[in-house]
Amino acid sequence: MMLFPSCRILISLLTFFLIRQAHSKPTTSSHFEWLQRCLARTQLSFSTNSTGVCSRPCGLIPFTDYLPWTHQPVCVKARSEEDQREHSFCLYTNADFRDGRGFSIITTADVGTYISEQPIMWDRERWRKKTITFKDQPYKMEDMAERGLGLRANQTITYGRVFMESSPTIVVIRSALDFMTREQRHYMFRRAIKQLPVKTGNMILKLAKSMGGDELDDVFKTNGIGQIYGEDIRHLSILPEVARINHDCRPNSAYRFDDTTLKHEVFAIRDIKPGEEITVTYVPPEMPSDMRNSLLRNQWNFDCTCSLCAAQDFTLATSDTRLRTIQEYASDLASVSNDPELFLEKVERILELYELEDIIAPKARYLELAAYACSQLGLEAATKKYAKKAYDMWDVIAGKDSWEKKGMGALLRDPKAHPSWKYGQGEKQNESASEDPTELGNGNASELFSEVLEPTKE
């Protein structure tokens, strides 16, 4: 049976609503040549000394250059306590990236290779762009009393506007935090910072700290933003400008990250008035208050004071009940995916609850699901209604060029030609397909829903 076209929903640790734009990778011949060279460089073999840090050239190949990196990659071998398996993590730095902002990443050789392959790493002209591209910056940094520094809008920021664009400065793969010894971690963090331009290093070290202990561990814990690189691999990333945005359970902004261009964008998910603080949520917005509070306390060491957290008991209880219902319905979806009527009913209920809860960003996905359910049922008008809403929302949430938006565009244009129409009885299935073949793969609803509302593991 034809199931829903799969939505590649990418969940990251702290920002599981974060959306990655997928772009097809150009494969020009010159690019291909780079790849060969690059592969030869990134598949390192390791020689480690007793600290687990490579001494001297970290590989058998005598490197003459490390392009696109400006420093020779160094690697450590870490051992998992559980199964004693060995994991290698390497540090890659390009100190020139984004006009001298720099980029350092501690990750696996596979992810290192993946990033080396991206055309952006070879395109000096594109690096020249400033970190924050908006001359007319619509906010200013201010002291927000007990909330520390924050950003306040000084002009109206309309729904959908991208008002901050930046790139990660220092990134670490999540598994390295679990597997590297303290010594290895500190060595790698320090080296990652040292290899960046001094100005960038200082910006990182000046960030808020909250937990005590080692300075860099603390900077990562307090400011790290979940990002996905390569094949859905979780990383934590420091974006100093973005790290200044404070938490709100019902924020006015959200972000997205494109791991092929390393572009991180913050955009408004509602109109923001001058004088209003710019906020994002640090935790999944569906999280009930008790979980939310303890995560914020444990992870960032602060007590939530946003208007929802500060609400009367009755309001909080009502909200928690709704949030639990959303979770319950969402986890039911996989089991009713063979019954589009029931499925649609649950999705519509979830959308209503999001509306009542004033949760915005996750709605795009459920609007899309509603569109597919209607398409399976052969309800043309309803399919178009939901597809249009999802299309408009993905335009803002995932971005103008996102495959999510394109996929909804294809359904909207001609529902009857779409592979999801009446269980794949679409009239002209072959030519129906959208521009992006990836989203019409072997859709598997259980796979899709196992990721929705996955509890945060921390």
Ligand X SMILES: *[C@@H]1O[C@H](CO)[C@@H](O)[C@H](O)[C@H]1NC(C)=O
Contact residues for ligand X, defined by CB under 6 A = 49-51, 53, 55, 137, 140, 154-155, 428, 430-431, 444, 446-447
Residue 115 CB, nearest approach to ligand X (Å): 23
What is the spatial distance between Cα 243 and Cα 265, in angstroms, rounded to a whole number?
13
* For ligand X, the closer CB: 240 or 285: 240
User: Would you call the peptide bond into 274 cis, given omega within 30 degrees of 0 as the criterion?
Assistant: no
Residue 429 CB, nearest approach to ligand X (Å): 7
Residue 77 CB, nearest approach to ligand X (Å): 12
Polymer length of the chain: 458
Strand order in the sheet with 74-79: 74-79, 86-94, 103-107, 170-173, 233-238, 225-229
Residues forming a β-bridge with 166: 264
* For ligand X, the closer CB: 2 or 309: 2
Pairing mode of beta strands 253-258, 246-247: unpaired
Pairing mode of beta strands 162-166, 86-94: unpaired
| Residue type at 13 in one-letter notation | L
- Give, rounded to a whole angstrom, the gap between the first and last alpha carbons of the chain: 37
What is the spatial distance between Cα 357 and Cα 298, in angstroms, rounded to a whole number?
25
Residue 10 CB, nearest approach to ligand X (Å): 16
Angle between helical axes of 313-332 and 340-357 (0-180°, round to 10)? 160
* For ligand X, the closer CB: 321 or 438: 438
CB atoms within 10 A of CB 6: 16
**Local structure of residue 242 (DSSP, 8 states):** G
Full 3-state SS string of 77-135? EEECCCCCCEEEEEEEEECCHHHHCCEEEEECHHHHHHHHHCHHHHCHHHHCCCCCCCC
Q: Which of 159, 396, 87 is nearest to 256 (CA)?
A: 396
Residues forming a β-bridge with 279: 246
* For ligand X, the closer CB: 48 or 289: 48
Residue 376 CB, nearest approach to ligand X (Å): 15
Residue 71 CB, nearest approach to ligand X (Å): 13
* For ligand X, the closer CB: 320 or 451: 451
* For ligand X, the closer CB: 152 or 385: 152
Q: Which residues of 27-46 are buried (b: 16+ CB within 10 A; e: fewer)?
A: eeeeeeebeeebeebbebeb
Residue 434 CB, nearest approach to ligand X (Å): 15
Pairing mode of beta strands 86-94, 103-107: antiparallel
Residue 51 CB, nearest approach to ligand X (Å): 5
**Local structure of residue 13 (DSSP, 8 states):** S
| Residue type at 157 in one-letter notation | I
Residue 433, CB-side half-sphere exposure with 13 Å CA sphere: 10
* For ligand X, the closer CB: 137 or 294: 137
Residue 21 CB, nearest approach to ligand X (Å): 24
Q: Which of 234, 221, 226 is nearest to 256 (CA)?
A: 226
* For ligand X, the closer CB: 224 or 419: 419
- At 69 the three-state DSSP class reads coil
* For ligand X, the closer CB: 36 or 50: 50
Residue 75 CB, nearest approach to ligand X (Å): 11
* For ligand X, the closer CB: 27 or 51: 51
Residues 6 or more apart whose Cβ sits within 8 Å of residue 290: 320
* For ligand X, the closer CB: 154 or 331: 154
Residue 156 CB, nearest approach to ligand X (Å): 9
* For ligand X, the closer CB: 142 or 352: 142
Token reading at 121: 């790493």
Residue 165 CB, nearest approach to ligand X (Å): 15
